[in-house]
Structures are given as C-alpha cells and as structure tokens.
C-alpha cells in the first residue's frame, strides 16, 4: 500500500500526461523509491494508476534496466559492459568489483550496501571504463579508483 499523499501526487502526474502510458516510467520510479524496488504489489498499483494491465506495466518495467523488479541493496552499481568500455578493459573493472563486493553480477553485497548490475552504455564512452553508483557517474576507472569510490559511497550512506 502506498501513502495517500504519494498516490495523489502520482494521480496528478498521470492526469497531466497526454497518454497515461507516457507517465509510466515516472510512476514506476516513484514507486520504486518508495518500496526500494518495484515489487509485484507496486506493479499492480502502477497499473491501477496508469489504466494499464499489470502485464503492460511489467513490459515496461522489465525493459528498463534502472527499474528493479527484484530487491536491491541500498546503492545500485551499474557498470558498463558495452563496446567502448569493453575496449577500455571494463572486464578488469567488473572482475575487481566482483572480488571487492564478494558477489557475482546481479548480486548484493553481504552488508546489503551494493548491488552490482551490468549496463549497456551510459553515454560516457569517452571516459570508459565507466560505472554509476546510486546515480552518480564515475569514469576512467582503475581498480584503485573503484576502491576509493566504494569507500566514499559507503561513508556517504
């Protein structure tokens, strides 16, 4: 169940859209922020708000990599494995991240702080290899820099 205030604000957002479907991403992101991830319950609630079927929300939710349909840690690391970063040895960075966090791709560290997810290009091809942590982009990564960033993000939390 979402709070009445959130529901009202989302209803306003949907009403402002020319077609309800175009508000779908906003609604899903808000619900995700509320629940921590987009739960099954949230999908059904989003469908109700948007006038779509739960399946139609699911179609959109599973398409976008920043909508999480499974529980995630407090901060999500999106590490790029697309072609430019691959040329800049993102594999080394990904291996390093896996070792540091003690997880595989898609996993959440034991302390519940980070979830590691690969992503396909963040538009930082000039600064590869790149990743984002909780929405903050980081480029020209080296294993040492990754360690610093993880520490910094841990402290910020």
Query: Which residues, numbered 65-84, are part of the site for other proteins (CB under 8 A)?
Result: 65
Shortest separation between residue 76's beta carbon and other proteins, angstroms: 17
Are the C-beta atoms of residues 122 and 82 closer than 8 Å to each other?
Answer: no
DSSP secondary structure letter of residue 105 = T
Q: Which is nearer to other proteins, 59 or 148 (CB)?
A: 59
Contact indicator for 33, 3 with CB cutoff of 8 Å: no
Return d(Cα 68, Cα 149) in angstroms, integer: 23
DSSP per-residue string spanning 54-80: HHHHHHHHHHSTTS-SS---SEEEEEE
Shortest Å distance, C-beta 44 to other proteins: 8
User: Which of 120/152 has CB closer to other proteins?
Assistant: 120
Q: Cα 31 vs. chain centroid, distance in angstroms? A: 13
107 burial (CB, 10 Å; 0-12 / 13-18 / 19+) is middle
Closer residue to other proteins, CB minimum distance, 24 or 141? 24
* C-beta closer to other proteins: residue 7 or 69: 69
Nearer CB in complex with other proteins: 46/150 = 46
**How many amino acids of this chain bind other proteins (CB under 8 A)?**
14
In the complex, what is the shortest distance from the CB of residue 115 to other proteins, in angstroms, rounded to a whole number? 17
Question: Backbone phi, then psi, for 128, in 5-degree steps?
Answer: -70, 160
Q: Which residues pair with 136 in a beta bridge?
A: 133
Site string for other proteins, 36-65 (x = CB under 8 A): ----x--x--------xxxxx-xx-xxx-x
Residues near other proteins (CB under 8 A): 40, 43, 52-56, 58-59, 61-63, 65, 120
């Amino acid at each position: 169940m979402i709070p009445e205030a959130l529901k009202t604000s989302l209803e306003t957002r949907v009403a402002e859209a020319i077609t309800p479907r175009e508000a779908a991403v906003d609604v899903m992101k808000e619900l995700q922020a509320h629940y921590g991830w987009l739960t099954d319950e949230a999908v059904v609630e989003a469908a109700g708000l948007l006038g779509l079927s739960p399946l139609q929300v699911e179609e959109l939710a599973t398409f976008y990599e920043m909508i999480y349909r499974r529980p995630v840690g407090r901060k999500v690391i999106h590490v790029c494995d697309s072609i430019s970063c691959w040329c800049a040895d993102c594999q080394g960075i990904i291996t390093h991240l896996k070792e540091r966090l003690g997880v595989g791709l898609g996993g959440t560290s034991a302390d519940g702080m980070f979830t590691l997810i690969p992503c396909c290009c963040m538009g930082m091809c000039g600064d590869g290899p790149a990743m984002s942590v909780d929405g903050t982009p980081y480029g020209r990564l080296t294993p040492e820099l990754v360690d610093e960033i993880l520490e910094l993000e841990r402290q910020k939390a």
